[in-house]
Amino acid sequence: MLDFNQHVLKSSQQFGAIIQPRMGFSRVAQMREGLHATARSNANSICTITLDSFTRVNDLTGVQRALAENNQLNGYPIIYHNPNHTKKIISEIVREYSLPVQIRHGSPLPSKIFQRMVEVGVNATEGGPISYCLPYSRVPLKVAVQDWEKSCRILSTGVRKSHIETFSGCMLGQLCDPAVLIALNIIEGLFLTENGINSISFSYAQGTSKIQDKAALTVLKKLASKFFCKDSYHIVSYVFMGYFPKTIGGYCKVTNDMLNLINTEKLNRVIVKTPVEAHRIPNIEENIASIEFADYQLKSEFCKKPIELDAEEYDRIYTLADKLISDTLSQDKNIGQAIIKSFSSGILSIPYCLHSDNKRTSHVTIDNRGYCLTSANNTINSSSNLISNLKKNIDKYDL
């Protein structure tokens, strides 16, 4: 089994950032085709299997009904398909291309999925007890923490070189202060490694200002090196995950801004979108076009332009993130308990997240520089105000 983290670290150092699609199809044959197309593409890629949303919520009946009626799911139903078939398509990729495959799932209770990963021979996935519970589910945080502890045990004892990417740099995709995203990344990373996971990656989703993103990524690198050993982690970034530009030009521009950051900040991996993302699930051809486009752009002069560091914003993010981390860690020696206590006391809070274990003690505002900042007051408090803040990148890039 390949070491996901080592592969990413080495390959990104040698060839530039690794580019990864979001890709998941209902049927084994099409998934296989998608994996091969990604591996063969003219990009420094690794492969992705994204699971469907019935599997994410453990609704196997939903999968069976949909497939029996020949309907299309929004991802690959890994629990439904014969594990030998999944194992075969994954081992082909490892054998023929020496490329790792990551399972992307979005499940607050992933133990069954992790068990299946062990059976089919995959050691890399993503998520965490916070990032896959609070924004995306109604499972109590306490229950998610327990299941993630169990899941980490299953994966770390079942495969060699287990790897999990924390998803907490992407909470709700937009309108979250980067300081909160970074604190949650470190906290979730500590949870995963303390529960036996061999290596991790930290995530960061593009915001509404390249300058603020640069400050945030600089803090993330600094804090990651404070809490984790060198070479035991890498950093992955996401092209904007919120309300996405609708035009092809908008897609190109928003992607280019992220790729610029990937180069200047020497990030190891990037997960890209496709121009159809705002409308529907992309097909194989569209996925491949987008990773090849990103690979090409990464080598362009535009994407190598230096970006200025806003030292004041760096200090603000560092101070707030560091405080959130130390306040959380002081709650309990057990990191899982520390997470539960911090959310129940409101030390940690995610703006606009509807989960009943999220106290909604924090609010944000976007200032005239496009910085997303924690705010004492809830200034985003009407449908028109919310939509205009969610649409910042549409207004900026869809010109």
Q: Is 363 in the site for other proteins (CB under 8 A)?
A: no
C-beta of 131 vs 263, nearer to other proteins: 131
C-beta of 29 vs 311, nearer to other proteins: 29
In angstroms, the CA 165 to CA 267 distance is 14
User: Tokens for 156?
Assistant: 């770390």
> What residues from 24 to 63 belong to the interface with other proteins (CB under 8 A)?
53-54, 56-57, 59, 62
Q: Is 355 in the site for other proteins (CB under 8 A)?
A: yes
User: Tokens for 98?
Assistant: 């020496």
**Binding characters for other proteins, 202-241, by CB under 8 A (x = yes):** ----------------------------------------
> What residues from 91 to 110 belong to the interface with other proteins (CB under 8 A)?
106
Contact 307, 211 (CB under 8 A): yes
**Alpha helix positions (H), the chain:** 4-15, 28-40, 53-56, 60-68, 83-97, 111-120, 141-158, 178-194, 210-227, 248-264, 284-298, 311-329, 335-345, 383-390, 392-397
Q: How far is CA 52 from CA 56, 59, 105, 152, 281, in A?
A: 6, 10, 8, 21, 11
**Kind of pairing, strands 372-375 and 363-366?**
antiparallel
**Binding characters for other proteins, 294-333, by CB under 8 A (x = yes):** ----------------------------------------
Q: Is 387 in the site for other proteins (CB under 8 A)?
A: yes
Return the residue of 121, 140, 173, 196 that touches other proteins, per CB under 8 A.
173
Q: What is the side-by-side strand order in the sheet with 233-238?
A: 18-20, 269-271, 233-238, 199-205, 163-165, 124-126, 101-104, 47-50
> What residues from 114 to 153 belong to the interface with other proteins (CB under 8 A)?
135-138
C-beta of 125 vs 195, nearer to other proteins: 125
DSSP assignments along 178-203, one per residue:
HHHHHHHHHHHHHHHHHTT-SEEEEE
Q: How far is the CB of 2 from other proteins (least distance, A)?
A: 30
Return the residue of 40, 160, 279, 369 that touches other proteins, per CB under 8 A.
279
Contact 226, 322 (CB under 8 A): no
C-beta of 49 vs 190, nearer to other proteins: 49
C-beta of 289 vs 390, nearer to other proteins: 390
> How many CB atoms within 10 Å of residue 234?
23
Residues near other proteins (CB under 8 A): 53-54, 56-57, 59, 62, 65-66, 71-74, 106, 135-138, 172-174, 242-243, 279-281, 352-356, 381-383, 386-387, 390
